[in-house]
Amino acid sequence: MKLDPDSAYVRIANLTKRFGDFVAVDDVSLDIRRGEIFCLLGGSGSGKTTLLRMLAGFESPSAGTIRIDGADMSAIPPYERPVNMMFQSYALFPHMSVERNVAFGLEQEGVGREQIRRQVGEILDIVKMGGFGARKPHQLSGGQRQRVALARALVKRPKLLLLDEPLAALDKKLREHTQFELINIQQRLGVTFIVVTHDQEEAMTLGTRLGVMNHGKIAQIGTPSDIYESPATRFVADFIGSVNMFEGRVSDDGADYLRIQCGELGCTVRAERTVSCTRGATVWTAIRPEKINISRQPFGAGAPQAGSAENLVRGTVREIAYMGDMSIYLVQIDSGRMMRVTLPNIMRGAERPIAREESVWLSWHGSSPVILTE
C-alpha cells in the first residue's frame, strides 16, 4: 500500500444525524489525514460528540458515509471497528484492576496470555503507570485514571483513537502537563487522533488541525493559527479567543487594501485585502485585543483629528485587569463602544503605567483587522 501522508485516512462524506426533528450533525464532510491530531471544537449542542459517537459506531448515521482507511464503516458494529475511544468519564471498569482493564481489549481478540501481559506492561510503561497494575480504578487519582483510560484505548493499536474531552476532568496545572504528554505519546505510536473538546486552548495546543463546529455544521477547518488569525466567519472569530467586532461599510476598494467606514468605531479602517467584496457591502471588522496598540499620544506625526484618521481612535480607560503575564484594558472609545486591549507586561514595574480613566489612543496595523462578510 502506498503511503500518501496527505490523502484522506478517515473520510466523512455528507454525514447527517437526526434525532426526531433535531438535526445534530448536518451534512458534514471532512477528511482526516493519517497520523494527525484533529480537534473538533464546538460548544455544547454543536454536534461534535454525536459525530464522534458515529465514528465509534454507537450512533448510526441518518445519511452519509464514514470510511476509515478505505473501508466503509456503515454496517460495521462498534466491536469490529478498528477504532477505540477514550471516554470523557474514562469509563474504567470499576470491578477490574488496572491491568485487567487494559487487557480487556486484547482478551476479546483472543491474544495469548503471555503476549497480553507483555503488551499491557509496555503500554502502562508508556503512560507512566507501570507500578499501578494491581490497583483498582477507585484507588487512583484523576490524572492516573486518565492515563489508564488512554492506555486501555491504545493497547490494541487502533487505526483511529477518539478522545472525548480527554482533559476536561483534570485541574489546570495537570492539564497543561498532560497535553504535551498526549502529543508525545501520539507521535511515538503514530496513531491518528480525533479529539472532541469545547476548550479552545486544549484544541489549539493539541491539534495539528481544528474543525470548528456550530449547529451541526463545520464552520471552518484549518491549522490553529489559520483559525485564530484568519477566521472565516463571525462565529469562528468570536468563538476562538476574544475579538473586537464592528459592523461597517466598504467605502474604497483598492487592489490590495480595503477602506471600511465604521460608524460604531468612529474611524476609517484600512485593512489588507483578504476577501473579495464590493464597494458599499456590509462587512465586519474583527481585531484581536493583542493586536491593538495603546498609547497616551497618537501614533505617527502630528495630532490627527479623531474621526478623520485611519486605524486610530481615541478613548478612555474604564477597567484594567492585571493578569500577571499581561493586562487587559477595557477602553470606551469616543463612539461609546467598549474595546478590549491586551498588553504583555514586559517590564517589571513600568514607570508610569496607564491608569484608569486616563485618555488614550488606540491604533493598529493594516494587517491586523480581519474583514468578514458573513
Partner 1 sequence: MKAHSLFARTALVLGLVFLYLPILSMIVFSFNNSRLVTVWDAAHSPTLKWYVALLSNEQILRAAWLSIRIAVISASAAVVLGTLAGMALARLGAFRGRMLLAGMTAAPIVMPEVITGLSLLLLFVALEQLIGWPKGVGAVTITLAHITFCMAYVTVVVQSRLAGFDESLEEAAMDLGARPLRVFLRITLPLILPAIASGWLLAFTLSWDDLVITQFVAGPGSSTLPMVIFSKVRFGVTPDVNALATIMVLLVATGIAISTVWMRARQKRRARDLQLAAAANL
Binding of residue 367 to partner 1 (CB under 8 A): no
Which residues contact residue 33 at a Cβ distance below 8 angstroms, ignoring those fewer than 6 apart? 5, 6, 7, 8, 9, 192
DSSP state of 290: G
Name the grid cell of 359: 485618555
Binding of residue 18 to partner 1 (CB under 8 A): no
Residues from 227 through 246 that contact partner 1 (CB under 8 A): none
Instruction: Pick one of 4, 14, 43, 80: the residue that binds partner 1 (CB under 8 A).
Output: 80
CA 50 to chain centre: 17
Nearest-approach distance from CB 109 to partner 1, in angstroms: 6
The alpha helices in the chain, defined as continuous H runs, are 48-56, 98-108, 113-126, 142-154, 172-189, 200-206, 224-229, 234-239
Nearest-approach distance from CB 77 to partner 1, in angstroms: 8
Question: What span, in angstroms and rounded, lies between the C-alpha atoms of 320 and 343?
Answer: 11
Nearest-approach distance from CB 140 to partner 1, in angstroms: 5
Binding of residue 2 to partner 1 (CB under 8 A): no
Question: What span, in angstroms and rounded, lies between the C-alpha atoms of 4 and 281?
Answer: 43
DSSP state of 310: B
Instruction: Pick one of 87, 199, 251, 366: the residue that binds partner 1 (CB under 8 A).
Output: 87
Is the Cβ of residue 92 or residue 258 nearer to partner 1 in the bound state?
92
Binding of residue 21 to partner 1 (CB under 8 A): no
- The single-letter code of the amino acid at 21 is D
Binding of residue 248 to partner 1 (CB under 8 A): no
Is the Cβ of residue 181 or residue 310 nearer to partner 1 in the bound state?
181
Is the Cβ of residue 141 or residue 367 nearer to partner 1 in the bound state?
141
Instruction: Pick one of 17, 48, 156, 337: the residue that binds partner 1 (CB under 8 A).
Output: 156
Find out whether 24 and 216 touch, Cβ atoms under 8 Å.
Answer: yes
Nearest-approach distance from CB 313 to partner 1, in angstroms: 49
Backbone angles phi, psi at 357, to 5 degrees: 65, 10
Backbone angles phi, psi at 123, to 5 degrees: -70, -35
Binding of residue 223 to partner 1 (CB under 8 A): no
Name the grid cell of 152: 486501555
Instruction: Pick one of 7, 108, 184, 359: the residue that binds partner 1 (CB under 8 A).
Output: 108
Is the Cβ of residue 57 or residue 231 nearer to partner 1 in the bound state?
57
Nearest-approach distance from CB 156 to partner 1, in angstroms: 7
- Applying CB under 8 A, which part among 24-32, 52-60, 65-73, 345-353 lies near partner 1? 52-60
What region, left, alpha or beta, does residue 304 occupy, with left being phi > 0 and alpha being psi -120 to 50 degrees?
beta
Binding of residue 94 to partner 1 (CB under 8 A): yes
Residue whose C-alpha cell reads 497618537 in the numeric block:
298
Find out whether 149 and 124 touch, Cβ atoms under 8 Å.
Answer: no
Binding of residue 83 to partner 1 (CB under 8 A): yes
Under the rule (CB under 8 A), what is the footprint of partner 1?
Answer: 56-58, 77-80, 83-85, 87-89, 91, 93-95, 104-105, 108-109, 136, 138-144, 152-153, 156, 174
